[in-house]
Amino acid sequence: MDVQELMSKVAQNLTAGRAFGPAYEKDGVMLIPVALVAGGGGGGEGPTVPTRDDNESEEPAAVAPEPAGQSTGLGGGFGGVVLPVGAYVVKDEQVRWVPAVNATVVVLGVLVLVRMVLRARARASRRRRG
The confidence score (pLDDT) of residue 122 equals: 93
The model scores a pTM over 0.75: no
What are the extents of the domains in the chain?
Answer: 3-99, 102-130
Write the DSSP string, 45-108.
--PBPPP--GGG--S-TTSPPPPTT-B---EEEEEEEEEEEEEEEEETTEEEEEE---HHHHHH
Distance of CA 110 to the CA centre of its chain: 23
The confidence score (pLDDT) of residue 75 equals: 72
Assess whether pLDDT exceeds 60 at residue 123: yes
pLDDT in tens, 69-100: 565 677 777 777 778 889 999 999 899 999 98
pLDDT in tens, 37-65: 887 777 677 776 666 655 555 555 555 55
Range in 1-5, 85-89, 101-105 with the lowest mean pLDDT: 1-5
112 exposed, middle or buried (CB, 10 Å; 0-12, 13-18, 19+)? exposed
